[in-house]
Chain A
Amino acid sequence: DIQMTQSPSSLSASVGDRVTITCRASQTVRGYLNWYQQKPGEAPKVLIYATSSLQTGVPSRFSGNGSGTDFTLTISSLQPEDFATYYCQQSYRTPLVTFGQGTKVEIK
């Protein structure tokens, strides 16, 4: 299985901050890397698919980048509604997908 490692596991940030989350795969996933946001008590929601494509309806302050084994999710200006847990997911080996362990973004 392809292992996905996110860093950091958690971070504290203020409204308006620029936040970057990193995801590293144990082997290449080419560009098949997706990002999800999950709020407490809710199902995850896709933000970015295929490394950098913004899902319809997702604010443009979210962006994704990377290739091969190293990927990033960036929030350009953190908003109150962005405090949540973020997961990366490789879908290179679809249907056998794997998720990162999650990054919890908390209010400073």
Chain B
Amino acid sequence: QVQLVQSGAEVKKPGASVVVSCKASGYTFANFAISWVRQAPGQGLEWVGWISTYNGKTDYAQKLQGRVTMTTDTSTTTAYMELRSLTSDDTAVYFCARNYGSHSWFDPWGQGTLVTVSS
């Protein structure tokens, strides 16, 4: 079945970086882009960015430009999201999701990775 499995929870200090991975299976990886969405504790969903698994093109939320980098490894069908210069405002559950359709909806989603930024 189509599945996205993310890496485990992370605890980081302010100023550090974090890398979250998202392993895809059950479909042709290069045919569907991957988006990343985050959810701060008790809050709603915030789009972080998008990467084409076909050509590596990316698009990031303006507020995170310069701190976020998304990459893919097609040999392992894995997408990665790196976030640098972490602050407590970055504490959130980070989800990856497959973009489906020409004007994409997200299906399925990964299980989420909690990133906690604390001194």
Binding site for B on A (CB under 8 A): 1, 32, 34, 36, 38, 43-46, 49-50, 55, 87, 89, 91-92, 94-102
A-B residue pairs in contact (CB < 8 Å), sample of 20: A32-B103, A34-B105, A43-B97, A43-B109, A45-B109, A49-B100, A55-B107, A87-B44, A89-B105, A89-B106, A94-B99, A94-B104, A95-B49, A95-B99, A96-B50, A97-B104, A99-B44, A99-B46, A100-B44, A102-B45
| Distance (whole angstroms) from the CB of B33 to the closest CB of chain A | 7
- Is A99 a contact of B103 with CB atoms below 8 Å? no
Is residue B111 contacting chain A, with contact meaning CB distance below 8 A?
yes
Please, which residues of chain A bring their CB within 8 A of the CB of B61? 96
Instruction: Say what secondary structure dominates the interface of chain B.
Output: strand
Contact status B44-A96, CB under 8 Å = no
Query: A43-B95, A46-B106, A92-B103 are known contacts. Are A97 and B47 too (CB-CB below 8 A)?
Result: yes
B104 in complex: contacting residue of A44, A87, A91, CB < 8 Å: A91
The reply to whether the CB of B59 lies closer than 8 angstroms to some CB of chain A is yes
**What's the Cα separation between A55 and B100 when bound, in Å?**
12
Complex CA–CA separation, A24 to B59 (angstroms): 25
| Chain B residues within CB distance 8 Å of chain A | 33, 35, 37, 44-47, 49-50, 59, 61-62, 95, 97, 99-112
A42 to chain B, nearest CB (A): 8
B56 CB, min distance to chain A CBs, angstroms: 13
What CA separation (Å) do A62 and B112 show in the bound complex?
Answer: 25
Given known A-B contacts A43-B110, A43-B111, A95 and B44 have beta carbons under 8 A apart: no
Tell me which of B59, B95, B100, B112 contacts A95 (CB under 8 A).
B59
B35 to chain A, nearest CB (A): 7
B105 A91 Cβ-Cβ under 8 A: yes
Q: Is the CB of A44 within 8 A of B45?
A: yes
Please tell me if the beta carbons of A99 and B47 are within 8 angstroms of each other in the complex. Answer: yes
User: How long is the Cα–Cα vector from A27 to B76 in the complex, in angstroms?
Assistant: 40
Verify A50–B109 contact, CB threshold 8 A: no
